[in-house]
Structure 1
């Protein structure tokens, strides 16, 4: 039951080239930065990644992207990463853009044993009808486009409504970050970092978690567990320095009010 491994390098050692990886986080909030750095050093390439976005240039999944390690990306958002956009538009990277809620539910379904589900999101658009550009060539021509998806009309409280079939995501490995975790893999996420992390963890055949604080079994109140250890296979405890190393995407500050007291300005 003790799932703790000695290092991030050991935890990701068996992630092979061509693997499908699910990665938690939203922007730079809650990203498994230590595990991603270890995977970069490990050298696996030709990876297919499932994540809300690809971090930013030089951070998060952006590290793997910049090193040319990603073959395909399934995401909701391309912004904030110029290299992501450049590789996509130049034909170096295949990208399947997916509505954010649909992506989250595809991950959750994969971890719940649900092979597919119907949703109203995307009906009447290229998400359902097909034709979204997945891959361009170097001249900007679409060489791979999304296929049309099955749709079906169901009776709802508002009357008949059309839905589109979406397939679940099951990844070979999942990389996530948690605020607290015990040796059995029970996890607690903190505030905004409880975004795609639980869902990514659920859909991985092998789920690897970096935890900012490792505690002993029983120290986490069962009512406070956000993700049970049944979904977790390896736990990597972070050093205090690693846990505190969190980048901010955009820092916005407000000028101090001319009438503010010195105490208020210092705060």
Structure 2
């Protein structure tokens, strides 16, 4: 099946208000900036964002928070740079958006579990801390563990260096980050890439098989 699409509107077809989105990225690597910037003009509201560091959304397109398009955030880091509160922080403090702050390893495993069909798992990470408040805790082997539910999303938005028409992906370095796991845990996976190969990618270059990818869009390179 040819998974190439020609424009952003086609790439994001079916995305509606109230949807949940996983967005790849670690630092600036793997952020699907073109897809993120296409969200605000769609006029959607009450979106749930699942992303490693929420400040990257503000840096990429502050209008998502300026226009109050976001209702809930699951993230490992919500502070902006410096002492001045980021737009998201101010909205959270005013109760305009809800926040689920998650240790990074737990964040990755919750996504992986969602893709593997595992509804929940126990982890010792965060046991006995404020992050465990309101969560079930049990003792295993003498260690207190916290029950964490898997994460799934309606859409996953990824960035890769190269794809072929079948959706097989090649990531450059840190671009892969959480993207591969997110692709398995979303109903629809959309990927912006710098290059679409006319030929099928060699097996040793396939970092994510096309079975997990629904749409591929060629987008400008981000420096």
Match of 2:8 in 1: 8
1:232 counterpart (213, 216, 221) = 213
Match of 1:169 in 2: 151
Give the CA deviation at 1:58.
4.6
RMSD over aligned Cα atoms: 1.7
- Between the aligned partners of 1:161 and 1:61, the Cα distance in structure 2 is 42
TM alignment of 1:69-218, pairs within 5 A: 69-80=69-80, 82-128=86-132, 130=133, 148-155=134-141, 160-218=142-200
Match of 2:25 in 1: 25
Give the CA deviation at 1:14.
1.5
* SS at 1:178 equivalent: strand
Aligned length: 219
- Between the aligned partners of 1:62 and 1:73, the Cα distance in structure 2 is 15
* SS at 2:156 equivalent: strand
TM-score by length of 1: 0.77
Q: Which runs of 5+ in 1 are unaligned?
A: 131-147, 247-267
Higher relative contact order at CA 8 Å, sep ≥6: structure 1 or structure 2? 2
Give the CA deviation at 1:165.
1.3
Q: Decide whether the 8 Å contact of 2:183 with 2:189 is kept in 1.
A: yes
Q: Decide whether the 8 Å contact of 2:55 with 2:79 is kept in 1.
A: no
- Between the aligned partners of 1:4 and 1:85, the Cα distance in structure 2 is 37
CA offsets, 1:166-199, max 9 Å, x none? 1111101111111111111111111122212222
TM-score by length of 2: 0.91
CA offsets, 1:194-217, max 9 Å, x none? 212222222111111101111135
Give the CA deviation at 1:62.
3.8
Q: Decide whether the 8 Å contact of 2:114 with 2:185 is kept in 1.
A: yes
Q: Decide whether the 8 Å contact of 2:58 with 2:87 is kept in 1.
A: no
Give the CA deviation at 1:57.
7.0
- 1:187–1:89 CA distance, 2 compared to 1 (3 A): same
Larger radius of gyration: 1
- Between the aligned partners of 1:179 and 1:46, the Cα distance in structure 2 is 31
Match of 2:36 in 1: 36
